[in-house]
Structure 1
Amino acid sequence: MSPPPVVTGLSPKEGPPGTRVTIRGEFLGNQANDLIGLTICGCDCLLSAEWKSKNKIVARSGPGKGRGDIVVTTKHGGRGTSTVQFRGYHETYGPLKESAVWVEEAETNLTWGRRPMQLAASYAPPDPLGLSTEDENKFPEDDLHELFPDCSGDLSAENFHPGWFLLEHHHCTTFEDLKAGTLFLKRKVDVQKEGQLSFLKANTGSVMDQLDALILLKNCYETDVRENGKEPLKKLEKSIEEAMTEANKIFDDVLSRKDNADSTRAALSIMTRYKFLFQLPGNIDKNIAKKDYDLVINDYARAKNLFGKTDVAIFKKVLFEVEKRIDNLRNILHTKLQKLPISVDDQKHLIRSLMNLEWTGDAAWDAITSRCDYISKQIVRTRDYHVQLEASEDDSGKNHKGTKPAITSGGEWWPARVSLCGALCPLLTEALPDLWRLGQSYFCGELRGDRQPEKHDKFKTMILTTIELFCRTIRSALLPQTADRSAMSEKSVWNSQTAPNLCNWLAHCLRDVRETYNSLMRLDLPSEALDIVGNLIHDLKLYCMIGLLKQAVDSVKTFNKKETWKIEFDPQHGGITELPGLLEKTVYDVMNVIKESVLIACPREKPLFDTGSAAHKHLNNYIQDILNAFSKCLEKLAFSHDEQDSGQSPLSVVLGAPALMVLGGRLAEVDGHDGLPATPPWQHRLLITLSNCRYSSECVLPRILTFFDKNGYTKPILPIEAAKVLLKTLSKSIMEAYLEQKSDPLVGTIEPSMYIGKFDWNTKIKPTDVRPYAKECINNLIAVHAEVHSVSPSLVRTVLSQVLETVAEEFARLMSGCHGKFSPFGALQARIDVTVLKDTTLPLLTQRAKHSFEDALECIPEIKSEDDKKLKEQIIQDFQKRTKLQAICFKNC
């Protein structure tokens, strides 16, 4: 095996097809037979290859274009490689280029100047003046058009103008250069004239081939003239006529025999037709009796085709009998066509039968009108039946569960009006598509319907009237408040005084109407028809939402009866009952039901909550009603009490308070019978309700607002703000009532306790301790603290601060009334009592309470003796040590 051949050089490196290329390399074969393959630019050039040596081959290039490898293949070395490439291109022959073949000048593209490198395969002729045209400043083309109108600078154009050419390519060339270019052009033309003989010698092969073709063409033409003459068409025409004459002679006998056979066959057919015609009336009667109408139609059509234009008397008589029976059949089919119920396919079959029997009327239109009337009658009949059903229920005073239309498949009783909706929706869903399909078949020409515009309008009116009747009937039964004047007749059918509450049933009716609406949309009905049902659905959605919200309002109004007073403690808001959570759950539930049953996104349905729609207003109003009802329930729970609740002992809050107990987080009083918790006293109910108000305002209402936003509803900002105002007002009223119940008894015990035992501030007894009335006042405040803290720790500071204001004002009043009556020991005792009360409750004192205690101390004479001051401090310290536990409750509020 020899090494594979390698091409390392070639000359030239580019050229048009047929260029003689010298290929140099290594291992190009030991002899000429070793060379078995040669490709240049992908073209096989083995036939033109001449093996010179193992290092040299000479070949002609093929028609390849662009750059490509030169690959040599030898017997022993196989396919070789190339380190150099050959570039092939196709020359473009212009008007100044000699060529031995015809050149299409119209396709010649003469571009003077530098030839772009990327167009390697194209060829541009040189400048005829032999001058360089590399000037980048081109002469403006617009100026050229202005100077030489209707001319061109293209050398191949008929309107070529030399001035244009010179300005376009040589406007910067000097005159001397132009003179030199003119001499160059002259020499070139002279050389071409002198070189005609050499040109012919160089292209002898092509010229000889052309001469041979011309001589052959001349010989063929002369031979044809000698054989056929100068006018061969007459001879051809004569030959065709002779051929036609001979053909007619051959087929005359065959055609005559065919005519005889046709005559015989016609005679036999006439005999058969006679038998069919005479038996036709009897056969028609038999087939009508068997309801085989198609066979009758076929026989009748056959008889009409055979004997329709006969002049034979007997045939006319038989045909008269046939027509009488056919008229009877037409009437039978027309009656069956208008007798419903019947399927659309059967109606179409009857219509086609009548058309085949040449019915004079428009059978298809009669079928459409009869089907439309049937649907309307069915709607009215169904409505009347349910009206009577509701009347019978009202007369008996109870529901007739044995009546089928008012009973569901599971045995649940339905109101007659809801049952009407459940009956009408399937009726329209089944009947209207049949009417629509029948009409479409009529107008598309399937039933030969005439396409008169008035019938299109009539059919559209039929559809609209039927759907309007359906919607009007349902609207008058379920939504009589929305029925317009045109529906007064339907509205008056129902007894408005005994109309049931349908709020719980509107969602079910809405689902039925939506199913009907979806089935109608698949029919491609006019938009006016769909809008009628869409408006009904929109009203059903609106009043379904209103009904659900009304039920929520009614439910919230009964919250006061559902209050169990079971307290659950919230870390931030203290004790609350289940009412705030019940309000939140009620709002969530009703809005979720509205979202699932009312706000379902269905095609072509008008959104319920459009901008500025009535639904927004209704929703905000009913949310406001729900929150108002909740506020009224809290108000009823807070201020509904009997005399026993309000009857408290005026001596002491502690002694007058009922026995309290906390069982499982539930504040109640023991009723003394079975030990079970009962309703807490009124004062505790005030605190619980006050805590519910605060929790509802601060937690429940913001959560409701967030719930609306998350579920795609418009935030009810105004109802929420109004509810907060109501709850704030209610909280203020409850707080005032509670403070009145606590402050008045507590303050009322101070003065009697102060002077119990006929005590006088002008005493001569030296003080040894805080007087009992001050201790009792502190204990009473602790009792209030305990009561408030057991319900809502967050309210302790608010309540005690206001109670302390009234206590401080009472001390200021009492001390000012004793001004001038204090003995030294009495003044000392008074300062000890007031100071102890002030210091013990200091964390809860407001500025107003502090000023009142300061006013009380100002009314008491100053202590001048150091011993008395020490005694005061000693007594206060001893008291504070003994009451350290009691003082803790005031510090940790």
Structure 2
Amino acid sequence: ICNALNVIQRYQFLFHLPQTIERSVKREEYEKVINDLVRARTAFEKVNSRVFRNIQQEIEQQIQNLRILFRQRLTEFPSSIDNQQLFIRYLYSLDPRVDSVWDCIIHQKAALIHVLHSCVVHHRTQQQQQPYNIRGHDQACHVLATAFSHLWHLIQLYLRKRLYPLSERSEEIDRTYTHKASEFLTLTKEIIQTFISIIRLNLLNRSSPTSNSTSSQEDNLYVNHDEIDQRFKTLPHCVQNCRLCVLHLVSLDIQPDFKKDLQQLMFDLRLECFQVIIDYACLEVSRLNTQETWELEYDEQLGFHTKLPNLFYDIIVQKANIIDENFFEDKEAKRQADRAVCRLLNDFASVFKCLIKDCSSTTSNSMETLSTSTIIITSSEHLSKTLRLIIILNNFSYTRRFIVPRLKKILLNYGFHDMDHVYDKIEIIYKRDVEQLLDIVKNEYFRPFLHRLESRMYAGRFDWATHTRVISVKDYVKHIILDLARVHAEVYSISSPLVFIVLSRILSTLVNELSKLYSKINQFSNAGGMQACLDLNALQKSFERCMDSDTSNKLKEIISKIPDAAEHIESNGLTDMLNIFLKQMKRYLISFQDVQQQHTE
């Protein structure tokens, strides 16, 4: 009896142990529970009594419940490496035969991949919402950066055999750490490849950086302006988050092949970001025509231009820094950069075309003289159609002469090298567009008096065959001078270098029209021939500084076809009448004497 009492007294704590364990579990005092169980296990090994059998069975059931609880806690996701190590140690204390680390790794890997897959945005959902699901993308990056980091460190501890409190005996260590490095390599590869695939699906499924864009894709570039706005606002944020995540993964000393795959992902993302920036810049450029206020700024060399060319320059400068951060010395990136610069410059030319179309809707076609001292035009309603066309033409000239060279310099500073072929291509496009614009300007100026030219020439039922007396230059020549004087005044008020370019085009068309009219004359009387020579010589003398050589030669050719033209020209009577006419029209002709020959570059 005394021995029994001594045993009961010595192991009295066992009677209260089930209740103690239950209280400790509720309080999550797991360390105390483990210590009590280790102490109880030692006690049960020393005591073999029916008295403790029921208690032992109850404690074994509690141990089983604890195993389930600890396994659940070990499979929680996400979970820190400290918690994982703690519950691994608890489970090992409860049952050293179970490889709880491997179970934890498998569960963490499965949970991580499941969360990554939940971040995928399906195409239909993506169309209905925003182009890039920021929340899903951020979640994928955050989960991988945190959960994978803990998982990676757990794997490294396992491979170094530093998790279980084992003895130094190699056979015991080998028996416990049964899984090999190749298994973990496969597991890690699956996680990283899943992450890469999901990022590509979410961010790169719209366009492939290695695919050639078709013309139809370029035509549809601005179909959805809101989508381009969203892409520009969200993608740089997504790329930055992904970059931080990848940098963290690379710092974990993962396999070189995995690093290469992640670096390729970042390259493709940054290239996509570069493309989005260019898309947005092109969209901004394409909208510049809506920002035309017709406020004029003065340049000493070219005259007045609006703010539009400088707004275009500012857009490129604002994007240049971002472009620089996303630019690579890579063949594909170089090709994208070439296309980007070409698109931007070409789109700006399209802005001028839009403004020309807008000019077509104006109701005012009359020429209005603009004082050279005028700097600001408060409303486009005060501008004639022709004056706005001249402003657009000078904007184009200012862009070609100053803006494009400045852009070349700044883009060169940002790494856009060897792009002369792009600028050569753009110069060809710009020259073509300038020629088209000059034709529009010429037609707008020439159209009003083109239809009146023939009627003025034959006013008063004039007949070249029956004309008997030459008194002075005919009125149709005076009308031509007055009309072109108004053209000169309007063009000169914007840009003096454009005066010759515009007038020479108009005069070329005018001389061609006169050639047609004179070719229809079947017969000249002597006075009629002299009148024709006087009129055409008056035009020759009045506009000799405004004509190019081809136009001047064409006019001389018309004169030469008039009967007895040489005799008429040398006659004193014609010379006197010509001098009188030039003196009478001096106040109008004086402006034409200062015209300097210019050529479209």
Query: Between Structure 1 and Structure 2, whose CA radius of gyration is higher?
Result: 1
1:282 maps onto 2:48 in alignment:
no
Q: Is the aligned partner of 1:519 residue 2:248?
A: yes
SS across alignment from 2:133: helix
Residue of structure 1 equivalent to 2:217: none
Distance 2:203 2:369 in 1: 54
| Alignment TM-score, normalising by the size of structure 2 | 0.77
In the superposition, relative to structure 1, how do residues 315 and 847 fare at CA in structure 2: closer, same or farther (>3 Å)?
A: same
- Against the structure 1 CA distance between its residues 284 and 526, is the aligned structure 2 distance closer, same or farther, given a 3 Å change threshold? farther
Selected match of 2:525 from 821, 824, 828: 821
Secondary structure of the structure 2 residue equivalent to 1:732: helix
Provide the rounded CA distance (Å) in 2 between the counterparts of 1:867 and 1:444: 113
SS in 2 for 1:575: strand
Q: Which residue of 2 aligns with 1:595?
A: 324
Q: Which amino acid aligns with 2:375?
A: G
Contact 1:580–1:700 (8 Å) recurs in 2: yes
2:112 aligned partner, one-letter code: I
Partner residue of 1:847?
Answer: 549
Matched residue type, 1:757:
G
1:425–1:516 CA contact under 8 A, matched in 2: yes
The residue type equivalent to 2:105 in the other structure is I
Instruction: Output aligned runs, 1:236-275, within 5 Å.
Output: none
Does the 8 A contact of 1:475 with 1:482 survive in 2?
A: no
Taking the TM superposition and a 5 Å limit, the aligned residue runs for 1:392-403 are: none
Partner of residue 570, structure 1: 299
CA distance in structure 2 between the aligned counterparts of 1:705 and 1:437, rounded to whole angstroms:
50
- Does 1:683 find its partner at 2:401? no
For residue 731 of structure 1, what is the aligned residue in structure 2?
434
Question: Does residue 141 of structure 2 align to residue 425 of structure 1?
Answer: yes
Correspondence 1:473 to 2:473: no
Q: Is 1:805–2:521 an aligned residue pair?
A: no
2:452, 2:91 → 1: CA distance?
110
Count of residue correspondences: 555
| Equivalent residue number for residue 611 of structure 1 | 330
2:285 match? 556
Candidates 357, 360, 375, aligned match of 1:665: 375
Task: Give the aligned partner of residue 544 of structure 1.
Answer: 273
Matches of 2:61 and 2:181 in 1, distance apart? 30
Gaps of 5+ in 1: 1-269, 400-413, 484-498, 600-607, 649-656, 669-675
CA contact (8 A) 1:557 1:630 kept: yes
CA displacement 1:238-280 (0-9 Å, x = unmatched): xxxxxxxxxxxxxxxxxxxxxxxxxxxxxxxx99995686335
The aligned counterpart of 1:332 is: 66
User: What are the equivalent positions in structure 2 for 1:749-828 lying under 5 Å apart?
Assistant: 749-759=452-462, 765=469, 767=471, 769-809=472-512, 817=521, 820-823=524-527
CA contact (8 A) 1:575 1:791 kept: yes
Q: Is the aligned partner of 1:368 residue 2:87?
A: no
Q: 1:532 to 1:283 in 2, by over 3 A?
A: farther
How is 1:647-666 mapped onto 2 (pairs within 5 angstroms)?
657-659=366-368, 661=370, 664-665=374-375
> What CA deviation, in whole Å up to 9, does each residue of 1:372-396 have, x standing for no partner?
3333344455x38x889969x96xx
> How far is the alpha carbon of 1:700 from its aligned partner?
2.5
Structure 1: which amino acid aligns with 2:455? P
Q: Which structure is higher in RCO with an 8 Å CA cutoff and minimum separation 6?
A: 2
SS in 2 for 1:845: coil
Q: Is the 8 A contact 1:574 1:791 kept in 2?
A: yes
CA offsets per residue over residues 480-525 of structure 1, 9 Å max, x none?
A: 3479xxxxxxxxxxxxxxx976512111111222222233233223
- Please tell me whether the aligned partners of residues 334 and 354 of structure 1 are also in contact (alpha carbons under 8 angstroms): no
CA shift in 2, pair 1:680/1:293, >3 Å: closer
Equivalent pair of 1:566/1:577 in contact (CA under 8 Å) = yes
Report the counterpart of residue 405 of structure 2 in structure 1. Answer: 702
**TM-score, with normalisation over the residues of structure 1?**
0.54
SS of the residue corresponding to residue 843 of structure 1 reads: coil
* Shift of residue 639, structure 1, vs aligned partner: 4.6
- Counterparts of 1:75-114 in structure 2 under 5 Å? none
CA distance in 1, matches of 2:568, 2:533: 14
Residue ranges of structure 2 left out of the alignment (5+ in a row): 165-172, 209-225, 596-601
Q: Tell whether the 8 Å contact from 1:552 to 1:590 is kept in structure 2 after alignment.
A: yes
> Counterpart amino acid of 1:851?
N
2:302–2:496 contact (8 Å) kept in structure 1 = yes
Answer yes or no: is the 8 Å Cα contact 2:281–2:316 preserved in 1.
yes
Q: Distance between the aligned counterparts of 2:264 and 2:52, measured in 1?
A: 62
Does structure 1 residue 456 correspond to structure 2 residue 189? no
Alignment of 1:64-463 (within 5 A): 278-279=11-12, 281-282=14-15, 284-289=17-22, 290-291=24-25, 293-295=30-32, 297-298=34-35, 314=48, 322=56, 325-326=59-60, 328-329=62-63, 331-333=65-67, 335-339=69-73, 340-341=76-77, 342-380=79-117, 383=119, 417-448=133-164, 450=174, 454-463=179-188
d(CA) in 2 for partners of 1:568, 1:881: 37
- Share of identical aligned residues, percent? 23
| Secondary structure of residue in 2 paired with 1:844 | coil
Q: How far did 1:711 drift?
A: 0.8
Check conservation: 2:303, 2:495, Cα contact below 8 A: yes
What's the CA shift string for 1:459-496, capped at 9, x where partnerless? Answer: 2333333333334334333333479xxxxxxxxxxxxx
Structure 1 residue 620 corresponds to structure 2 residue 338 = yes
CA contact (8 A) 1:552 1:586 kept: yes
Task: Give the AA of the match of 1:369.
Answer: I
8 Å contact 1:333–1:350 — kept in the other structure? no
Q: Alpha-carbon deviations, 1:295-325, whole Å to 9, x = none?
A: 56556656777885x7xx8469858965873
* Alpha carbons 1:830, 1:860 under 8 Å: kept: no
Q: What is the alpha-carbon distance in structure 1 between the residues aligned to residue 83 and residue 569 of structure 2?
A: 125
Map of 1:584 onto structure 2: 313
Distance 1:415 1:678, change over 3 A: same
Name the one with the larger strand percent: 1
AA aligned opposite 1:446:
R
C-alpha distance in 1, partners of 2:234/2:301? 42
Which residue number corresponds to residue 220 of structure 2? none
Q: Conserved in 2, the CA contact under 8 Å of 1:389 and 1:416?
A: no
Matched AA of 1:350: F
Q: Aligned pair in 2 of structure 1 residues 362, 330: CA closer, same or farther (>3 Å)?
A: farther
Distance 1:330 1:353, change over 3 A: farther
In the alignment, the residues of structure 2 paired with residue 454 and residue 314 of structure 1 have an alpha-carbon distance, to the nearest angstrom, of: 39
**Residues 634 and 689 of structure 1 are in contact (CA less than 8 Å); yes or no, is this contact kept in structure 2?**
yes
Shift of the alpha carbon at 1:731? 1.6
Return the letter of the residue paired with 2:554: S
CA distance in 2, matches of 1:717, 1:847: 33
Q: Cα offset for 1:575?
A: 3.4
Indicate the SS of the match to 1:572. Answer: coil
Please state how far the C-alpha of 1:571 moved relative to its aligned partner. Answer: 2.7
For 2:247 and 2:361, how far apart are their aligned partners in 1? 64
Q: Is the 8 A contact 2:81 2:150 kept in 1?
A: yes
Q: How does 1:849-888 map to 2 (within 5 A)?
A: 849-858=551-560, 859=562, 861=564, 869=572, 871-888=573-590
Partners in 1 of 2:481 and 2:301 — Cα distance?
27
- 2: CA distance between counterparts of 1:796 and 1:736? 14
Deviation of 1:612 (Å): 2.0
